[in-house]
Structure 1
Amino acid sequence: MRKQLFQELEQLMKHYCDGCFLHKHIKNNHGRRKAHRFCISECTVGEKIKGYGNKLS
């Protein structure tokens, strides 16, 4: 079960997060910390990633 969750999570991040324009734009204009906060709290993909994290813990 955990292995499958990790695989799904990795695919999700590869597909949506690698090279994300919004993350790159926010990072360049407002800094790395603000970009990270955006990904965690406002991005729909970030919410899905948090859901996977809750299932794993």
Structure 2
Amino acid sequence: MDTKVLDKINRLERTYCRGCLLKEVNRTEGSKSSAHSFCITECSVGIEMKMYGNKL
């Protein structure tokens, strides 16, 4: 497994996703899976994380 790719994903998550207001609102108003779906389809950071994940 490529540790550089994992490091990039972890760095993005720590920097942008922890404490993300949109993620919290989507979890509160919807569900954990709807928040996840929003993040990987509409959030630019989530889309970038998904791109890195596809490289693994």
Q: TM-score, length-normalised on structure 2?
A: 0.86
Moved beyond 4 Å, runs of 4+: none
2:6 is matched by which residue type in structure 1? F
> Unaligned stretches of 5+ in structure 2?
none
The residue number in structure 2 matching 1:2 is: 2
Over aligned residues, Cα RMSD in angstroms? Answer: 1.4
Q: Would you say how many aligned residue pairs link Structure 1 and Structure 2?
A: 56
- Cα distance per residue 1:2-53 (max 9 Å; x no partner): 1111111111110001111000011111222211110111111111011101
Looking at secondary structure, tell me which structure has more helix per residue: 1
> Unaligned stretches of 5+ in structure 1?
none
Q: TM-score, length-normalised on structure 1?
A: 0.85
1:41 is matched by which residue type in structure 2? T
Distance of 1:3 and 1:26 partners within structure 2: 30
Verify: 1:44 aligned to 2:36, yes or no.
Answer: no
Instruction: Please give the residue correspondences for 1:1-57 in structure 2 after superposition, counting only pairs within 5 Å.
Output: 2-56=2-56
Query: What is the DSSP-based 3-state SS (H/G/I as helix, E as strand, rest coil) of the residue aligned with 1:19?
Result: coil
Q: Which has the higher contact order (CA 8 A, sep 6+)?
A: 2
